[in-house]
Every structure is written in structure tokens, then in C-alpha cells.
Amino acid sequence: MADKHQLYDEAHQLKEQGKLEEAVAKLQQALELDPDFALAHAALSVFYSRLGKHQEAVKHGLRVCELEPNDPLSFTAMSVTYQRAGMIPEAEEAMARARMLQMGGC
């Protein structure tokens, strides 16, 4: 049985082949093994966004921010996800949080 990291790697290989739906399925399998696997949530956020499934993208992006609350990159990615979903005020708030974290704030 594959571990979460193998499933994550397989998902990225599928993405490179243009098979986003299959990649999403692999990442979902990884989350079944570890629901707090931040890398899988981050990838799902990007993949769902590319598929136009913005509610799912936002859900997984927010989970990354919960799991990595001190990582500015998580909030920068969340800002992009919000922008793609047309949620501009939320995007600006996420970017402000990223900038604050970059400056060492909480």
C-alpha cells in the first residue's frame, strides 16, 4: 500500500499528464491516510481551482492555513485561491496576513 508521500508524488505525475481529476483522487487517498497532510490540501486547492471548483479550492486552502498558521506562503496561496474564486476582499485579507507574517508578526 502506498504511503501519503507516494500518493502525493503520483498525483503530481498525473497533473503533469493533464489528468487533474485523477490527481485529485490520489490526493484524496493521501488525506484518508492523514487528514492533516498540508501538502495534499495545498495541492487540492490548486487543482480544484484549475478545475473551476472554487468552493472546494477555498476549503482546502483554508485547511492549509489552519495547519500552517505561521507560514506566509500558505496565506499568499490562499489569496490567489480567493482571487480565482472572485472573493476579492478575502483575497486582500489573506495577503495582508501573509505580509504580516513575513514581517514577523502574528
- CATH of residue 69: 1.25.40.10
pTM of structure: 0.93
Measure the CA–CA gap between 33 and 73, rounded to whole angstroms: 24
Confidence check: pLDDT of 99 > 70? yes
| Coil/strand/helix, residue 18 | coil
* Domain count of the fold of the chain: 1
Number of H-type helices and E-type strands within the chain:
6, 0
Q: Report residue 38's pLDDT band, with 50, 70 and 90 as the boundaries.
A: very high
Instruction: For residue range 57-72, list pLDDT tens digits in order.
Output: 999 999 999 999 999 9
Residue 21 structural domain: 4-102
Confidence check: pLDDT of 1 > 70? no
C-alpha cell belonging to residue 19: 489528468
DSSP string computed for 40-53: HHHHHHHHHHHTT-
Confidence check: pLDDT of 17 > 70? yes
In the numeric block, the cell 500558505 is attached to: 74
